[in-house]
Structure 1
Amino acid sequence: MEGTGGSSASAAAVQPVNQRLQEFSKLFQYYLDKSTPHSMYRWIGTFVIASIYLLRVFYIQGFYIVSYGLGIYMLNLLIRFLSPLVDPEMEPSDGPLLPTKGSDEFKPFIRRLPEFKFW
């Protein structure tokens, strides 16, 4: 009987944490949706933050291993962001398939990594 009381107490303790997490998720999504049309400002902000980090690394004379790992990760994200979802070399030998019906949509370039997952 003590086992069932302990699990309900822990579930009651976790509930406020889950509620705060959902509130934060909704707030984050709200600001993400507001920032969608401002792509130039996002790029500028990214370069400003990256330059501040590089100046910090240069000034402190450290964090080279962390910077190296972060650079490889960001390069991987950039390559996935710039590459198409479907590799043209992996297409059938007949060539790329074009739409045959009016309802089919031809998308010549779909990114492998969407923009917001890149950010």
Structure 2
Amino acid sequence: MTFITIADAETILGADFAPDGDKARLVLLANTWMKNEIGFVPDPVTENLKLAACEIIKGIQAGEIYSGKEQELKRKKVKADTVESEKEYQDGSFSLSSFEQIALALIETENLPKHKFFTIPLVRN
């Protein structure tokens, strides 16, 4: 089961959202991002989740997702005389693209379980 198919992406983004040779890869990457974020594929997959996956596709196409991570600046030091510059970055920080922020907001509307790991329900007899 997947979050989005090529047919879903064509319906939402238009049939010409990408060259035919790139569509399968874009949909695969969007499904991977969604699975990594949510941890499971709900049944059924709602329209908001499909829209979120399409935002990820747009972000990949814009080069803002899966293009490396930038660190958040913690401190910047500049000296005018004898020219000195220093930057210190926050440990473990990274930036989120607007596409990822929109996708996360759409995912949040679904009130899905907050865990990102496999669980087994406990039933006692």
Normalising by the smaller structure, the TM-score range is under 0.3
| Structure with bigger RCO (C-alpha 8 Å, 6+ apart) | 2
Higher helix share: 1
Q: What is the TM-score with the length of structure 2 in the denominator?
A: 0.21
Structure-1-length-normalised TM-score: 0.22
Structure showing greater Rg: 1
